[in-house]
Each structure stands twice: as structure tokens, then as C-alpha cells.
Amino acid sequence: MPLYRTGILAFALMGLIAGCAAGRTAIGKGEMLERQGRLDEAVLKYAEAAAANPNQGEYRLRFLKASVDAARAHAKKGDEFLEQKNFDEAIREYQSAVALDPSFDKAKQQSDLLIKLRNAQVIFLEGVSLEKDNKPREALRAYQKAISIDSGHNGAKEGIERLLKTRKTKLDGYELNLKSTKPITLKFKDAKIKEVFNIITQLSGINFVFDEGVKDNNVTIYLENATFQQALDIITGINKLGKKALNEGTVIVFPKSPDKIKQYEELFVQTFYLNKLDAKKAVNLIRTMLQVKKIYVNEEMNALVIRDTPDVLDVARKILEANDVPDAEVLLEVEVIEIAKKNADNFGLVLSRYAVSAAASASGSGALLSDVLAQPTATTTTTTSTTGTAASASTGVSNLLNLFRWRGYDGFITVPNATFNFGKTIGNGETLSNPKIRVKNREKSKFNVGTRVPITTTSTNGTVGGINVNVQYVDVGVKLSAEPTIQLNNEVNIKLSLEVSSILSKDKVGDGNTTVVTIGTRNLDTVLSLKDGETSIIGGLMQDIKSKSNQKISLLGDIPVLGSLFSSHDTSNDKTELILAITPRIVRGITVPEADVAAFWSGMEDDPSIAKPYGSFTQEPEFAATPQPTAAPSPKPVPPQTQPAAPAPFQPVLEPQQKVPAQPGTIPVTAVPAAPMPAAQTPVPPLAPPPVRQPAERISLNIGAPASVKAGEQFMAEIKISDAKSLLNAPFVLVYDPAFLEFQAAAEGDFLNKDGKPTTFKSTVDKNTGQVTITSARQPGDGGIGGAGTLLTASFKAKSKGPASLGFMSVKFTDAGGKIIETIPYNTVIEIK
């Protein structure tokens, strides 16, 4: 045995010495690497020493100091790469600094800023590509998005200015044939409004036809360097006039009165199919925000049918798109633990019955007497001698003592049986319940595990004479109720209610047909606020029951010291504790719409529109359907360039037939039409049947993916579609970078089949080129579908550190009529750490 202990001690000492030696060796190598400037390797050695010797505070301090020094060195290299405009290497260095020292906020801020700038550059390059493909509208949107990310991006600014020169004026779906796009300057004082329109006709080549209700009032206007659209908007706006294009060269002007609006406005019917938002709630939302003319709720299809002007439908579409978002969901992981401990002591003398019986009997009748004394209720019995045999056998009394015999009578006494206990009982119990509940935001979930205990009661029917038996079931076990509220910052407020019950005892009362059950309960009601993945433990719900009882023989049990030999002591200590642990894990957070969907212009009170009032002064210009191809400049590292001077504004110089003398205190008219003719006599070209102007259909494709992931992790990318009206076929190619990403799988979204109609879906991947060809379509006879939703969900695995791009190619969406739908795809970049 001594040799065995000595061997164990020797092995322990050898292990301790080896650990100390390994730590000193690692520290020595770390110091050498640090002197050589190889700080990253030195950090690893110090970490190795600290892990081998966790009780050595010096080793840990060395590790922390080396980590800080290495982080500063990486940040310095990042600054150098930033000066060289090498953003990728700068991001890698800043991220390495943050990995070594998580408290290095400056490096983290620089890394986030550069990632944002790089994303802006990627979007700018997309705009350049779109501009080369003669898609000016999409290119302008890309440039504007790049500006929103990086307000100082000079290349995007130049692209916007370049595209503005190719703008085309559109009105009611017509591209107006302006004979000149030069800026217009108008200066009139108290001129007739029809004369002003005549001047605009001479400058632009657009003819105006006036409704009979238009009054030829005087107008004063001073407008410099304005476009045709701006001049038209300001004149009609301040004079309460409406306008409507009849063809590319003719516009009718009418008073903006309710009767005339009904006469000239065109109504359009559109059905909005809702995905998550209830149609009954949606109709209240639309009626609260807009004064729609006709609206109907289709409860079976969860859809709204609206008949109104295209402008009102555009506003309604934006409102529904911002509110028809999926509900947030959270997974609640709950652990309910009940720990029970029992400690009982039984010590002392235990007697069978604390009673003494005495009797006298004739000699020879002891058996009969023992039967009498065995009765629990018998105390003293006197009998006479009898002859005969007993009717039944008796077990007798084993502890019957014959005290005396006198004149043929015997005296007997019974004494209790004596047992001496030396017992101790120790028990431990644990009850565990671990439910996982997935619940929607602001919905109540319940969890119940246990048994339903029957409790019977009997009652007598006095009139009939029968007995009624009633059975009532009571739930016993664990009851949990939780109502989560998910916040925008991924915090979860949980309204929690817990009840744990158990059966303490069951007793029969009355005639034995009625059961009385004693149930012990413990309740908890609280409200928690936890972050995603944070665990909260609630304890202290304890129940401690202590009991102590003594039984002893009178007089004998009261004798000091010796009295314990004639006593029995029972001590019990039962203790139970309830512990609750809850962890929320957000499955789907609150969906916040894009900024242009959540906030947009909605026109004026009596004229809803998604365009800003007098938006021609700031709105995005319309472009020609087939603009002349212009060579877009190759993307550069956004160097500053000198902007060309704006063309001189064109001002009409007309010789009036007679000069109007200027009145005192007034400004003379500088432009008055020569021999103005009534506008109604202006020759009007033949009118083509005006097409019904439908809301413009431009489908947006976005990629919903995390901004950054760790190498080796899997993540999901959702291809989301919005602004669709009648989409039937949705083929496209999803492009990814195979050097950084590995494609796992693709699954069809719920957009095309959200009305329950069958669809076809197929995905083919080429992992060498990083292209996933998607074919998704509805059946031709089922028609197209509109709204917004998820078109595809793709799973990827991050392979190596660096920027990983996701984008689109060959997007050729078609509607139910077979026409190509204009699509605006937005690519994204994911940072792999």
C-alpha cells in the first residue's frame, strides 16, 4: 500500500514538473518570436503556455499584452493598405486586429466602414454595366443606391449627372415629343393663362386643348431655367388645373373640379393577393390611409380588389407591401427542474399498542380470555366458568401474563410488544422537463405535462333513494404559459407563467366512497427581457417541511437519561426546490421593409400619388424607351473630374405688335406672345385612342442574406421579389463566388404558389463556374400572380475568408401574356470572417 501511494505521488509530481517545463518552454519561444516581430506566432505560444498553466497569472498577462500589441500592428498595416486604396487587404488587417483584441473599437469601425464602401463600389459597377446595356433607369437606381451608402462616391455622382442629360419627359404613359429640351425661362405679369400656354407651345412643340370650363384668368409667373415638366406642373398647380395627355403631342387642360375629374380620370382594377396580412385588417388599413372609390375583401383568397386611379393603386401597393410581412417567431427552450431531498430519522422504543388490559377468569379458560383481551376495545372483562367448545379458533394473545391465582380465579394482564428502531432514511429525487416551444410574436403558447387525477364524490338522491357518483379531473404536473414579444433589436420580452403541482396525500372520508386529494402547488408569474440566445435562471422556489414527533411510556419515558429507552423519536426534513431556465432563440426576426417601401411620398390629400408634389423639380427623370447607346466610362477609383458647364437657358425673344406701357410700381412683361390666337384654334393632329395607363410594372429582386458569416458556417440566402403584378415564369441564374462559397441546396419559395396553384421548380448547379440555374413557373392556365414574397431559398457554406458576392444573370421574367417584365436585380456582398 505505501508503494502504491508513493507511485501515485511520483506520477503527480512528474506531471506538474512537465507542465511547468512546457509552460516555460512556450514562454521562451514566445519571447523570441516577439523580438523577431512575429507577433501572431508569439500570441499562439503565450496562449499555449497560459492553457498549460491556468494558475500562472504571469502567463495570462503575457498573452493579453501580446494580443494587444499584435492587434495594433495589424491596424497599422490596415492604415497603410487604406492609403494605397487596397480595401480588401485593409479589411483583412482590421478584422485580424479585432479578432486579437475585441475591445479595439477603432479597428472594428474602420472594418465596417470599408465593407460599406466596398459594397457601394460593387453597386456602382453594377450601374456601369446597366448603363452599357442601355438600361438607364436601372443604372440610375444603382448609382443612387451607391450614393446612399457612400455619399462621397464621385463615380456614382458623375453617372447620375450623365444620365440626367438623356432624360425624357413622360405624361400619362406617353413620351412627349418635345422639339427642344433646353431650359425654359418664363417671366409674365398679369398675362392671360391661355397666352402663357401658347408660349409654352411655341417653345416645346406640345399643343394644349382647353376644356370649356377653363377660365382665361390672369397669371403672374417668374420661372427660370425650368424644364417643360416643371413649367407645366407649376402653372397647372397654382391655377387648380388638371392635365391629361391625349397623345405624344397633345395635352388637354381642364378645371380640377370633382365633376371634371370624374369626366377625365381613368380607373383601373387590381387584385392584391396578401401573404401574411389578414385581408380584413388590410381593408381597414387602406380605408384609413386612402379614400378609395371601390374596395372588396375576398376572404377565401385573402385578397383585396380595388378599383381606382393608377396613382391610388400605386400608393395602396406600397402600403400593403410595407405591412404584408411575415410574423416574427421565436423558439423558447425551457428547463424545469424540481430537486427533492428527504432526511428522516426513526430512533427509540416502539410498542405495538400503548394500552394495558386486565381480566380475571376461572382456571382453564385462558384461551377464551385471550380472545376477549385481544379485542382492541376491551379494557376489563369478567367471565365465569363455562363448559363446551369454542365455535372458532382463536389466535390468542402472545403477550398475556398471568399475575395471580386466587380461589379458582386467575388474573391476567396484557403488555405491548416492544421494538427498538435505529433507522435513518435519506432520499434524493429530481424531476426534469425540457420543452422546446416555437411561437409567433405576441402569441400565447401553453405547455402542460403531467396527469389528470380523478376525484370522486358521492351524493344521495333523497327522493329516488339512489347514489350519484361524480368524477372531477384535476391537472397535476407542470403547466407553462409564455407570451413573447420580439423587439427590433432582437431582444425578447417574455410574459411567463409557471405552475408546478403534485399530490401530497389521498384520504377516504365519510362512507369511504369520497376521495379527498391534497394537492401542493407552486406558481410563478413574471416578465423577462432577454437577448437572443441569453439564458435566464429563476430559482429559490423552495419548500422546506420539518416534522418531529415523540412517543413514550408514561412516567418511564420522563425519567432523565433512562427515559429515552422508553421513548420513540421520529424526525423528518423534506426539502424541494424548483428551478426554471429559459432561453429564447429567434427563428425569424421582425421584418423591416426597405427604406423606400417603409417611407414614400403619397401625394396630396385630394390627389394621392407615390410622386412627390411638384416632384418634377426633384423626381427621378423618365428615360426614352430606346435611348441612343452611349459608351459608359470604365470604372475608376472615383477620381474627381471637372463637370461640364450647363447649357445656357433658352429664353424666347418675341417681338410684340404693340408695347404695353409699364405701370408705376409694376414690372413690365418681358415675353408676350405676338398676335396670340385662341389655343382652341391651334391645329390639333388626329387623336389616337388613349391607352389605359396601367401602373408601371418593375419587379425588384433582392437577396436577403447576413452581412457577415464565419468560415465553415452555413447560412441561408432568400431571393425576395416585390412589385410584381402578373408574374408567370421566373427563370434566372443565381451567381456566386466558388472561391468563397459552396452551394448546398435550393428550395422553392412560397411566392408563386401562395394562392395554392401548382408550380414547377428545378435547380441545376455548376460548382466550377458558381452558377445555379433556376427554372420556376406557374401553369399557363392559372394566370400570373402579383405582390411580394420569397421566390427562392438557397443554402450556402462559407469556405474561406474574404468578400463573397451573390448576384443574378439571365433574368427573363414573363407575365401571363408572354411579355418580358422589366426586372431590377440587386446583388449583395457577404463578408466571410
DSSP string, 355-384: --EEEEEETT-HHHHHHHHHSTT--EEE--
Nearest by Cα to 127 from 161, 89, 81, 82: 161
Q: Where do the DSSP E strands lie in 629-713?
A: 698-704, 708-709
The residue type of 436 is K
The residue type of 238 is I
Position with higher pLDDT, 408 vs 534: 534
pLDDT of residue 280: 93
**CA–CA dist 194, 464 (Å, integer):** 103
- Long-range CB contacts (within 8 A, 24+) of 224-228: 224/183, 224/185, 224/649, 225/183, 225/184, 225/185, 225/649, 226/183, 226/184, 226/185, 226/186, 227/169, 227/181, 227/183, 227/184, 227/616, 228/169, 228/176, 228/178, 228/181, 228/184, 228/200, 228/203, 228/204
Match 411567463 to its residue by C-alpha cell: 496
**CA–CA dist 34, 269 (Å, integer):** 74
pLDDT of residue 662: 36
Position with higher pLDDT, 677 vs 741: 741
Q: Give the range among 9-13, 248-252, 642-646, 707-711 with minimum mean pLDDT.
A: 642-646
Kindly state the average pLDDT of the residues 419-437.
66
How does pLDDT run across 18-39, given as a tens digit for each residue? 445 555 777 778 888 888 878 8
Nearest by Cα to 755 from 246, 302, 308: 302
How does pLDDT run across 614-671, given as a tens digit for each residue? 656 654 444 444 444 444 444 444 333 333 333 333 333 333 333 333 333 333 333 3
Kindly state the average pLDDT of the residues 8-17.
47
**CA–CA dist 794, 776 (Å, integer):** 14
Residue 103 has pLDDT above 50, yes or no: yes
The burial of 5, by beta-carbon neighbours within 10 Å (0-12 exposed, 13-18 middle, 19 or more buried), is given as: exposed
What is the C-alpha end-to-end distance of the chain, expressed in Å?
A: 57
Residue 688 has pLDDT above 60, yes or no: no
For residue 323, name the pLDDT band (cuts at 50, 70, 90).
very high
Q: In the chain, what are the domain boundaries? A: 167-264+598-681, 330-342+421-587, 355-415, 697-832
pLDDT of residue 774: 92
pLDDT of residue 401: 66
Domain 167-264+598-681 belongs to what topology? Phage tail protein beta-alpha-beta fold (3.55.50)
**CA–CA dist 315, 602 (Å, integer):** 6
Domain 697-832 belongs to what topology? Immunoglobulin-like (2.60.40)
Cell of 282: 388590410
**CA–CA dist 775, 757 (Å, integer):** 17
Cell of 431: 424531476
Residue 435 has pLDDT above 60, yes or no: yes
Average pLDDT, the chain: 75
Q: Give the range among 109-118, 399-408, 648-657, 774-783 with minimum mean pLDDT.
A: 648-657
Q: What is the 3-state secondary structure (H, E, C) of 6-44?
A: HHHHHHHHHHHHHHHHHHHHHHHHHHHHHHCCCHHHHHH
3-state secondary structure (DSSP) of residue 758: coil
Q: Give the range among 147-161, 321-335, 770-784 with minimum mean pLDDT.
A: 147-161
The arrangement of strands across the sheet holding 409-414 comes to 380-382, 357-362, 409-414, 400-406
**CA–CA dist 99, 261 (Å, integer):** 65
For residue 476, name the pLDDT band (cuts at 50, 70, 90).
confident
How far from the centroid of its chain's Cα atoms is residue 143's Cα? 30
Match 402579383 to its residue by C-alpha cell: 786
The residue type of 173 is G
The residue type of 171 is L
Q: Give the range among 126-130, 653-657, 745-749 with minimum mean pLDDT.
A: 653-657
The residue type of 57 is G
pLDDT of residue 137: 74
Residue 347 φ then ψ, to 5°: -140, 135
17 HSE (CA, 13 A, CB side): 6
**CA–CA dist 727, 780 (Å, integer):** 11
Residue 238 has pLDDT above 70, yes or no: yes
Nearest by Cα to 191 from 651, 680, 659, 671: 671
The residue type of 650 is F
**CA–CA dist 670, 625 (Å, integer):** 37
Would the pTM of this model clear 0.85, i.e. be above it? no
Position with higher pLDDT, 17 vs 653: 17
**CA–CA dist 703, 699 (Å, integer):** 13
Rg (CA), the chain: 46
552 forms bridges with which residues in the sheet? 567
pLDDT of residue 580: 82
Position with higher pLDDT, 498 vs 576: 498
pLDDT of residue 39: 82
For CA atoms 14, 17, 23, 26, give the dihedral sign: negative
Cell of 676: 396670340
Nearest by Cα to 443 from 504, 485, 479: 485
What pairing do the DSSP bridges indicate for beta strands 607-608 and 567-588? unpaired
For residue 307, name the pLDDT band (cuts at 50, 70, 90).
very high
- 634, 316 Cβ separation under 8 angstroms: no
Q: Give the range among 431-440, 524-533, 661-670, 786-795 with minimum mean pLDDT.
A: 661-670
Packing angle, helices 39-52 and 2-35, rounded to 10: 160
Q: Give the range among 337-351, 582-596, 796-810 with minimum mean pLDDT.
A: 337-351
**CA–CA dist 829, 833 (Å, integer):** 13
What pairing do the DSSP bridges indicate for beta strands 174-175 and 167-168? unpaired
Cell of 585: 432563440
Range among 566-570, 600-604, 787-791 rated most confident? 787-791
Residue 2 has pLDDT above 70, yes or no: no
The residue type of 673 is P
How does pLDDT run across 45-78, given as a tens digit for each residue? 888 887 777 766 667 767 877 888 888 888 888 8
